[in-house]
Amino acid sequence: MDFEFSAEQQQLKEQARRYLADKCPTTAVRAILEGSDPFDRALWQGLGEMGFLGAAIPEEYGGLGLGYLELCVIAEELGRALAPVPVSSSIFLVAEILKAAGSEEQKQRWLPKLASGEVIGTLASVEATGSVRPSNVALSAKAGTLTGAKSPVLDGDIADIAIVLARHAPGKDAQGLSLYLVDLNQSGIERTVLDTIDPSRSQAKIAFKDAAAELVGAAGDGWRLYEEALDRAAILTGFEQIGGADKALEMGRDYALQRFAFGRAIGSFQAIKHMLADMYVSATLARSNGYFGAYALSTGSADLAEAAATMRVSSTKAFQHCAKNNIQVHGGMGFTWAMDCHLYYRRSNLLAVSLGGLNEWEDKLIDRLRAKNAA
Amino acid sequence: MDFEFSAEQQQLKEQARRYLADKCPTTAVRAILEGSDPFDRALWQGLGEMGFLGAAIPEEYGGLGLGYLELCVIAEELGRALAPVPVSSSIFLVAEILKAAGSEEQKQRWLPKLASGEVIGTLASVEATGSVRPSNVALSAKAGTLTGAKSPVLDGDIADIAIVLARHAPGKDAQGLSLYLVDLNQSGIERTVLDTIDPSRSQAKIAFKDAAAELVGAAGDGWRLYEEALDRAAILTGFEQIGGADKALEMGRDYALQRFAFGRAIGSFQAIKHMLADMYVSATLARSNGYFGAYALSTGSADLAEAAATMRVSSTKAFQHCAKNNIQVHGGMGFTWAMDCHLYYRRSNLLAVSLGGLNEWEDKLIDRLRAKNAA
Amino acid sequence: MNFDDTPHEAAFRAEARAWIDANAPKHLLPHLEKAGFGGIELGGLDPMKEAKAWQKKKYDAGWACLHWPKEYGGRGASPIERVIWNQEEGPYAALSGSFIIGHGMCGPTVMDWGPEEAKRELLPRLAAGEDIWCQLFSEPAGGSDLAGLRTKAERDGDDWVINGQKIWTSGAHYSQWGILITRTDPDVPKHKGLTMFFLRMDTPGVRIVPIKQANGQSGFNEVYFDNVRLPDSQRLGGVGEGWKVSLTTLMNERLSIGSGMSAGFPDIFEFCKELELADGTLAINDRGVRSKLAEWACRQSGLKYTGMRAISALSRGENPGPENSIGKLVAGSSLQEIAMFALDLQGQAGAVSDPKLAAMAAKFQAQLLRSPATRVEGGTDEILRNIIGERVLGLPDDMRADKGIAFNKIPTA
Amino acid sequence: MNFDDTPHEAAFRAEARAWIDANAPKHLLPHLEKAGFGGIELGGLDPMKEAKAWQKKKYDAGWACLHWPKEYGGRGASPIERVIWNQEEGPYAALSGSFIIGHGMCGPTVMDWGPEEAKRELLPRLAAGEDIWCQLFSEPAGGSDLAGLRTKAERDGDDWVINGQKIWTSGAHYSQWGILITRTDPDVPKHKGLTMFFLRMDTPGVRIVPIKQANGQSGFNEVYFDNVRLPDSQRLGGVGEGWKVSLTTLMNERLSIGSGMSAGFPDIFEFCKELELADGTLAINDRGVRSKLAEWACRQSGLKYTGMRAISALSRGENPGPENSIGKLVAGSSLQEIAMFALDLQGQAGAVSDPKLAAMAAKFQAQLLRSPATRVEGGTDEILRNIIGERVLGLPDDMRADKGIAFNKIPTA
């Protein structure tokens, strides 16, 4: 048994950490949060050049041809650094869907550009408040064009292409749904940037009017492909969340060591010490569940769906818990704009809903445990 | 506004507390828990003689003719003392149902004896694991007789009479249910004492075979009367729970003051101090909700159903929380048979299910808030 | 056990209600009823101007600072009359946010410790809303450890010279006056070397810098003191008595913070009645949702009736018990839990914070970003648990590393 | 990242599996697989006799105490081989409950600190299951504060005379030997005046009284020492070195407690698949139930994979990280929450604890009454959080009222 990342993978992780410490300190995150740029272009380009974006994309399509485990350790570091770049949309979702279901032509055309960062992709699925389900996907696909709107779309303002969950056959059921690839730089597209809780990752509404689109995967397979893509993304995003949780815990720990009140470091008070201990517990549970997620993803295990839901629930709670209590450890300082605590708090709450809320994933987890148990 | 018990009611409470401190120290509770007697007969008789049992029973039926507020303060003290007597079954449920729906003859016959303690009553409703609902009440009433079984029945081994929720018309619906009064000292009755988590309150299975029974209230009104009785009992039992929670909090506080570790009282450690503070918070919320319950009960307010569900959820959680953490404050000592902590822990968990579980009351609470909101 | 007024209370309530009905700015009501996190918005009108107008009107008719003595601009009313007034003023009270610190904390402190002349001159102006006051207490180095403050006041002839920095001063930027706690003797234990003053906020050497909060708003300030010179006549209480004086302020702060706080249940209840879940059922019908709603409902009503118990005690002429100390502790974490849960139910749309697009005008998104402050301001959750443990339950103090040690010898790193 | 054995590990596993398959008491398997709270029940057979038989069989074949050196009765196996053995032994390990303290804690302590002669004589008997050992550490006055112990040992010629009382001594009533920590010098700070011994439990003056626990069972004892006389040759480590010696024991205890603990999810999952709720749906389909199940499922799998990470570290020849310290903390509260929730779902029937009548053979009722002990034994939740905070996260110690103070001067009331 070796339930740990290999020495090479850990080196890659170290390399990513050093790279991000240099190119993506929190001042860079703040620049996006506060400024008008929707994402950090230089960082994005650099991640492409370093091969981080294409780590799990085959060499024949312009990637490094490493595997999911390598992408997991990179994701963790991106989460730790709060990297203000569209990796989750472009790589965890769009590149993954193309790898799984794209035609040879689609792969050849888009994967190399996604790997280099030249093209940014996003997944557009949401049309209503609440969970995405077949009955509330109405955007319509007819004769190679899409008409309707998706909102919010993470990185929708900056993406060059989108994979869109659309309805090709009338009705409310999953069989009428397919995935379409759309070039967003065409006239039938209108985008509106949205205010969100975490402006370090931009979001938009995208309106489609007779926009040219091509099918990805078979017609009628849209819902299945979408759900499978969410599972893989849940594990990769889960590593972002683990990275964020760990960093929030470290920030809290460091502050508790350095800040004195009543003549002693506040970390010597049990109220603070035990709060940090509980943060460590949730972060550790999430990491361990994450390792199983990484294992399942990298081996294509039959447990992948269960592992994805487990990790999603575990890592979402851990990051929210750590980010929230990191502010509490910092007291009033934690609530200033100037301190970085709120950056982690914002991101933790963005990632908590970015692939659908906890309540949806809890449901999936129990469904999957039951299916396995029945099998 | 006077959102407080009156001076007279507080005197009554003091009187009950002194009486129970004298007649029902925890050694008396323990005697029932450990011994073969199913309840404390002497205490029961005393409570009848003092008028505590008949506090809310009209004078014309042998009670003191006081009101619900008086019964609430007595209930709180009974809960505080963990009184090992069938007050909740005999008074909070059976006397209440007879007051609300009994015929004049039934009231005259039974209420005086219930008030004096000469007769013990109980409510028999449960036939299956889980919540009681019309569809799982099968015990059948035919031609003035009952056949079937109820289990568990709190105080079912010691009761002289039972009010039984039974099905007079076939089917699964509520309209087919009525309440029946049964003399348990007849040949058609067979009782089996059950092992439970809190042997200081005994329980039994009661099997009925062509047992003579008489209707209480109108035929078909059984379910409504049953639910209304549960609401009133939830408030009265809620006061038992508040009393228990307060006592568990006090025990924890006192131990934390007296027990030294590492050269200081353990109550000076924030881990213990904050645990006790949180116990205080939940006990206080429950008490305040309880005051509203008492108000609603005593005035027959339209908010009674909402107040009952609110108090049930709040006081159940508070007693469980305080009893559980009182053990934790006591550490290993808290887990010995010799210390009284487990008596409160057992009782808190008995009362948490004795009128149906939290999940049922949460449901009722939201239904009721919604109905009010819609009105 | 009843909710009825005594005859005297009923008469007072009727009088208050009639006056409010005749005089309140009813045109502002629709805006005031929507007031939530982040101050009030009055459809383009200047909130400060409207607030001052309403306050002056109340003052002129004898309805300002009801519990203050008449000679200082109040009404000499009983505590329960004050409560009744608050109930009747209802949403219009939202106009008075800027006066809370002055009326609730600074005024009572000056009243107890200030020179008579200053009291007669300044307190009526404060009651009338002509002046706004702020409270200069917290410092960067002393948050929960208030007495660890470092801003120093040094005697120079008849004056004092102040140097240092305060933080979290709410409303400093629109205040005319402030009360200020300083260290006048660093060689004695920390609680013993403090002295309190009052000062005009435009005194030379005072510099106010707004703090941008984590949610992007700025209600608080840093205030810097650079050789600020105050006459000794602006001292409150004796030299070295500052801690005792500050306790007047803090006691009044605790009375006001947390009492009547909402735990946030009504909003999430409303939201769940409308939202459809994945399986097509309304959220309110989902047992997972219900279980959480039930918990929050019980906290909400528990706080409400805890407040009523306190009011009843006032009504009987007693001091309220310690129960009220639970208000902010319960409300703070509830508000945060509710916000997170509401976003979760909204799914990916939960991240959108534009009030024109997001459910319930983005109330939960604002609450998510504001609620961490509620758990800290005016006493962190941890300090509140200490207070409950020590003052309510009588548990021993924490061990003190700074006990009996000269302030300048207390470890700071 | 894989779950595969190395070739060496695979060979070892195959050998272990084959031996177990050929030698294990398979007729006991149905009973052992049902083992839960409250010890094992073997359908009328004597559990102690069966346990000793299985232990002796393992010992004779070289499968006892795998990580001990061969000369003391072990196999000299690597840590990962020990883990593999445990995995393969599976349910049969439930037979060995009475040996855990001896093999896991007492043995290693004697091995590190005992006289060579005693080691050669006693350790093989312990490994073979011929002797059972217990650990005489906790005292009424010192629970979490172990070093606050008061049982005193006084020198008398070549002997020591012991007086005092121990508590929570698991298995004292069936043990032949014990290790005992005593205070030999009350005039020095508390950690410095301790000395450790080993002794036969039938030494004159030793009296064992079972403790009835809150759940009615008796697995623990009080042990009284009344002028118990021990030769100096039964000392472990130097005089005054008892704390250092005890750390060997405690370190080994922490390695075994909590690792591999179940958070209780499988039982509640199973139960919810069967139970019908009020509205006729199965509990497992109820979102309120699901939300709780999901949390417990994540804790269960989180602990499982945390354990695997530790095993992997062993497999690589590293020491496991501190992650394992979370096991008991997470499992204890989960077990209690689950028990309460399961009773709640059972409604009024939830109070019935008769295994013949109650759901899942009354497993949850037993768990309700047993789980409070899990949160205390071998380190309370609060001590574990301190350990995580201090040893894992590197936070400073709590302030110590007893630091550097002679034991007999430490406040005790």
At C243-288, the pLDDT tens digits run: 999 988 877 766 655 567 889 999 999 999 999 887 778 999 998 9
For a pLDDT cut of 90, what percent of chain D falls above it?
Answer: 73
Contact in structure between A81 and A16 (CB atoms under 8 Å): no
Could you tell me if D385 and B271 are in contact, meaning their C-beta atoms sit under 8 angstroms apart?
yes
Q: How many CB pairs under 8 A join A and B?
A: 10
Catalytic residue among D88, D253, D323, D337: D253
Inter-chain CB proximity D315 and A1 less than 8 Å = yes
Chain A residue with CA closest to C407: the answer is A263
CB < 8 Å from C in window 186-245 of A: 194-198, 203
Q: What is the pLDDT along chain B (375 residues), one digit of tens a residue?
A: 788 999 999 999 999 999 999 999 999 999 999 999 999 999 999 999 999 999 999 999 999 999 999 999 999 999 999 999 999 999 999 999 999 999 999 999 999 999 999 999 999 999 999 999 999 999 999 999 999 999 999 999 999 999 999 999 999 999 999 999 999 999 999 999 999 999 999 999 999 999 999 999 999 999 999 999 999 999 999 999 999 999 999 999 999 999 999 999 999 999 999 999 999 999 999 999 999 999 999 999 999 999 999 999 999 999 999 999 999 999 999 999 999 999 999 999 999 999 999 999 999 999 999 998 776
Whether B94 maps to a domain, the answer reads: no
D303:A267 CB<8 A: no
Chains contacting D (3+ CB pairs below 8 angstroms) = A, B, C
CB contact under 8 A, D269 and A298: no
Asked if B281 and B334 sit in the same domain, the reply is yes
The CATH number linked to B64 is 1.10.540.10
Say yes or no for a CB contact (<8 Å) between B262 and D347: no
CA distance A271 to C375: 14
The residue of chain D with its CA nearest to that of C402 is D399
Q: Are A315 and A241 in contact (CB under 8 A)?
A: yes
User: Sign (positive/negative) of CA torsion C325, C330, C333, C336?
Assistant: negative
Q: A166: which DSSP letter?
A: E
Angle at which helices B304-330 and B358-374 cross, to 10°: 150
Distance from chain centroid for Cα A337: 24
Per domain, the residue ranges of chain C are: 7-131, 134-242, 259-379
Q: Flag whether B262 is in a domain.
A: yes
pLDDT in tens, A110-130: 999 999 999 999 999 999 999
CATH no., domain C134-242: 2.40.110.10
Spatial distance between the Cα atoms of D258 and D332, rounded to a whole number of angstroms: 9
CATH of domain C7-131: 1.10.540.10
Shortest distance, CA C200 to any CA of chain B (angstroms)? 41
Q: What six digits make up the tokens of B211? A: 């047992």
Are A274 and B271 a contacting pair at CB < 8 A?
Answer: yes
Is B4's CB within 8 Å of C395's CB?
no
| Chains in contact with chain B (at least 3 beta-carbon pairs closer than 8 A) | A, C, D
Ranges of residues in chain C whose predicted pLDDT is under 70: 35-39, 253-259, 321-323
The reply to whether B271 and B203 lie within a common domain is no
pLDDT tens digit sequence for A275-318: 999 999 999 999 999 999 999 999 999 999 999 999 999 999 99
At D44, the amino acid letter reads: G
Closest CA to B294 of B285, B304, B302, B284: B304
A79 contact C CB<8A: no
**Partner residue facing C301 (CB), from B6, B292, B299:** B292
C interface test, pick of A125, A193, A197 with most C CB neighbours within 10 Å? A197
C394 touching B (Cβ < 8 Å): yes
Beta pairing, strands C133-136 & C152-156: unpaired
Closest residue to A263, CB basis, from C357, C365, C402: C402
Contact B129 D346 (CB under 8 A): yes
Please give, rounded to a whole number of angstroms, the shortest distance from the CA of C337 to a CA of chain B: 17
Residues of A in contact with D8 (CB under 8 A): none
Q: Which single residue is written with the structure tokens 């704390």?
A: D243
Q: What is the pLDDT of residue C39?
A: 64
In this prediction, residue D255 carries a pLDDT of 61
Q: Is A50 within a domain? A: yes
- Asked if residue A94 is part of any domain, the answer here is no
The CA distance from A311 to D309, in Å, is 16
Instruction: Give me the residue from A274, A284, A288 closest to D389, CB to CB.
Output: A274
B26 touches chain D (CB under 8 A): no
The CA radius of gyration of chain B, in Å to the nearest whole number, is: 20
- With a CB-CB cutoff of 8 Å, which residues 269-298 of chain C face chain A? 275-278, 280, 288
Q: Assess B269–A contact: CB distance below 8 Å, yes or no.
A: yes
**Which of C287, C399, C402 to mutate to test binding with chain D, by most D CBs within 10 Å of its CB?**
C287
The total of structural domains in chain B comes to 3
Indicate whether A101 belongs to any domain. no
- Pairing of the two strands A260-261 and B140-142: unpaired
Taking the C-alpha atoms of A73, A78, A80 and A85 in order, what is their torsion angle to the nearest 10 degrees?
-170
Distance from CA of A26 to the nearest CA of D (A): 23
Report if residue A98 sits inside a domain: no
With contact defined as 3+ CB pairs under 8 Å, the chains touching C are A, B, D
Out of A102-106, A218-222, D5-9, least confident range: D5-9
Query: Looking at the structure, do residues B126 and B215 belong to the same domain, yes or no?
Result: yes
Whether chain B has a CB inside 8 Å of the CB on A270: the answer is yes
Of A129, A130, A342, the CB nearest to C214: A342
- Count other Cβ atoms within 10 Å, centred on residue A183: 16
Residue B282 belongs to some domain of the structure: yes
> Which of B4, B274, B289 is facing C312, going by the closest CB pair?
B4
Which residue range forms the structural domain that includes residue A112? 7-87+107-116
- Cβ contact C2–B5 (<8 Å): no
Domain co-membership, B179 together with B236: no
Rounded to a whole number of angstroms, the distance from the CA of D66 to the nearest CA of chain C is 47
B277 has a chain C CB within 8 A of its CB = yes
C chain contacts of residue A324, beta-carbon cutoff 8 Å: 336, 372
Q: How far is CA B256 from each of CA B271, B334, D143, D238, D413, rounded to the nearest angstrom? A: 11, 12, 13, 36, 11
CA distance A313 to chain B (A): 23
How close, in Å, is residue C326 to chain B by CA atoms?
6
Taking the C-alpha atoms of residue B82 and residue B66, their distance in angstroms, rounded to an integer, is: 23
Q: What is the pLDDT of residue C36?
A: 60
Q: Rounded to two decimals, what is the model's pTM?
A: 0.96
Residue bearing the bigger pLDDT, A150 or D94:
A150
Of B172, B205, B220, the last residue of a domain is B220
**8 A C-beta contact, residue C196 and residue C146:** no
Q: How far is B30 from chain C (nearest CA, A)?
A: 28
Are A258 and A126 found together in one domain?
no
d(CA A84, CA A46): 13
Contact with chain B for residue D410, Cβ under 8 A: yes
Residues of C that are catalytic: 253
Q: Closest to B129 (Cβ–Cβ): which among D280, D288, D359?
A: D359
CB pairs under 8 A between A and D: 160
- A89: pLDDT strictly greater than 90: yes
Q: How confident is the model at residue D280 (pLDDT cuts 50, 70, 90)?
A: confident
Q: Of A148, B262, B355, whose CA–CA distance to D348 is shortest?
A: B355
pLDDT at D33: 82
Overall average pLDDT of the D69-73 stretch: 95
Give the closest of C286, C287, C399 to D401, CB-based. Answer: C399
D22 touches chain B (CB under 8 A): no
- Asked if B31 reaches chain D (Cβ–Cβ under 8 Å), the answer is no
The domain that holds A308 is classified in CATH as: 1.20.140.10
On the question of pLDDT at D258 being above 60, the answer is no
- Whether chain C has a CB inside 8 Å of the CB on B369: the answer is yes
Lowest mean pLDDT among A152-166, B19-33, B46-60, D319-333: D319-333
Q: Is the pLDDT of residue A210 over 90?
A: yes
Q: What is the pLDDT of residues A124-151, one digit of tens each?
A: 999 999 999 999 999 999 999 999 999 9
Q: Is residue B68 part of a domain?
A: yes
Instruction: Give the closest residue to D193 by CA, choosing from D247, D248, D150, D228.
Output: D150
What percent of chain C shows pLDDT beyond 90?
A: 73
Residue C280's CB is within 10 A of a number of other CB atoms, namely 10
> pLDDT of D166-199, one tens digit each?
999 999 999 999 999 999 999 999 999 999 999 9
- B139 with B75, same domain: the answer is no
- CA nearest C84 in B: which residue? B1
Query: Do residue A269 and residue B271 have CB atoms under 8 angstroms apart?
Result: no
- Cα–Cα distance measured from residue D402 to residue D390, given in angstroms and rounded to the nearest whole number: 18
pLDDT at D279: 75
- Residue D194's pLDDT is 96
Residues from chain C that touch A334, judged by Cβ atoms under 8 A, are 214, 372, 376
Residues B60 and B196 in one domain: no
- Would you tell me which residues 52-91 of chain D have a C-beta closer than 8 angstroms to some C-beta of chain A? none
Interface of D with C (CB under 8 A): 286-291, 398-399, 401
The architecture in CATH of the region C259-379 reads Up-down Bundle (1.20)
